[in-house]
Structure 1
Amino acid sequence: MSKVIKGMIIEDIVDRLDGATDLLVVDSSALDANTQNSWRRSLQEKEISALSVRNTLARRALERVGVSGIDPVLEGPSTLVYGGQDIVALSKEITKWAKDIEKLHIKGGSVEGQSLDEAGVVALSKSPSREEILSKISGQILSPGANLSAAMLGIGGTLAGQIKQIADKDDAEGEAETA
């Protein structure tokens, strides 16, 4: 392959990655065509892309994008998997597929410049997602205000009940005097 063609392929890979710096690498070469198609279709529905590439071209393209530390996992047949909501959702999806399809092998990945091996990807898939973390944080931020308002409403409700009880008692005494 000439340098010009390699350069064009590298540019195409860079364009397809579209700035994705968090990605996983899997070996899907042992999958039959039907399984491969259903796997890729399922990933596309979740806005996840899978790109089978030559390792040397992938290394050059990933250097241009700014992904480092992924060289150890780019050995043998490689498919770059990227996209989705976030890297945790991506790792959960790929781990689920690796359990369902025995021939799909997770090789590793790169998250924020850190290289991951297969065990790291599996550990990442057990982490809470971005939405779960944001909901926990917002709950922790809102809980002091909710506790304060509940305390104030509790005291106010008790006071209102006592005032009503006194008013009812006065009304009952007034009715008794008139009768």
Structure 2
Amino acid sequence: MKKEDKSIIIEKIAANLQEYENFYLADIATLNAAKTSVLRRECSKQNIKLLVVKNTLLRKALEKIEGNYEELYPLLKGNTAIMFSNDANAPAKLIDKYSKNKETVPALKGAYVQESFFIGANTLKDLVNIKSKTELIGEVITILQSPAKNVISALQSGGTILHGVLKTLSEKQN
């Protein structure tokens, strides 16, 4: 591969690293072409970008962008695929789905999620349970709405009770 071609690939990898908030490093070495295509389609459905890269080019791209990614450098051995996603746990759920089907790949090497490093396959369960920003905002809104809903409900039920009492009293006076 020519040096110019390598620099173009490094630029593309660096652009993807900056475009997406989270990325996972996975090993897909034992997948054949057909299974890799199936994985790519499944990634695409879940808004995950899958990119198989050379480790040296990925390392140069990581060195090129802002931030310190040295914790991931020891993982850059063997076959490496990057799964880019703006949803923090989507790639983890996909990898977990494959592991439940007793398939050995994609195997998690590590991840950079929400400005934190997760190293090794044993962190997969933690990554699956991470809530996305949208899920967290939804939970906060639900929590904030709960007291208001309780007050409105109490006022509505209290109004019917008060109305019933007033009606009963007016009927007794007649």
TM-score normalized by structure 2? 0.84
Shift of 1:18: 5.1
User: Which of 79, 103, 112 matches 1:110?
Assistant: 112
Tell me the residue number matched to 2:136: 133
What is the match of residue 57 of structure 1?
A: 57
Q: Does 1:169 align with 2:172?
A: yes
Higher mean C-alpha displacement, 99-108 vs 35-44: 99-108
Residue 17 of structure 2 contacts residue 23 of structure 2 at CA under 8 Å; is this kept in 1? no
Cα deviations across residues 28-55 of structure 1 (Å, max 9, x unaligned)? 1111221111111111112211111111
Determine the C-alpha separation between the residues in 1 that align with 2:98 and 2:138. 27
Task: Please list, as runs of the form range in 1=range in 2, the aligned pairs for 1:1-179 lying within 5 A after superposition.
Answer: 1-17=1-17, 19-66=19-66, 68=69, 69-83=71-85, 85-100=86-101, 101-117=103-119, 118-170=121-173, 173=174
> What SS does structure 2 have at the residue aligned with 1:59?
helix
Between structure 1 and structure 2, the one with the greater Rg is 1
Residues 63-116 of structure 1 deviation map (CA, whole Å, 9 limit, x = unaligned): 333352321222211000012x51122321222123332242111111244321
The CA deviation at 1:2 is 4.1
Give the length in aligned residue pairs. Answer: 170
Counterpart-to-counterpart distance in 2, 1:140 and 1:16: 35
1:12 CA drift (Å): 2.4
SS in 1 for 2:100: helix
Which residue is 1:176 aligned to? none
Amino acid at match of 1:96: K
Q: Residue 149 of structure 1 aligns to which amino acid in structure 2?
A: I
Q: Is the 8 A contact 2:95 2:106 kept in 1?
A: no
Q: Which runs of 5+ in 2 are unaligned?
A: none
Give the distance between the partners of 1:139 and 1:103, measured in 2 at CA.
Answer: 38
Worse overlay, 57-66 or 127-136: 127-136
Q: CA RMSD in A?
A: 2.1
Structure 2 CA distance for aligned equivalents of residues 14 and 139 of structure 1? 38
| TM-score of the pair, normalised by structure 1 | 0.82
**AA matched with 2:167:** K
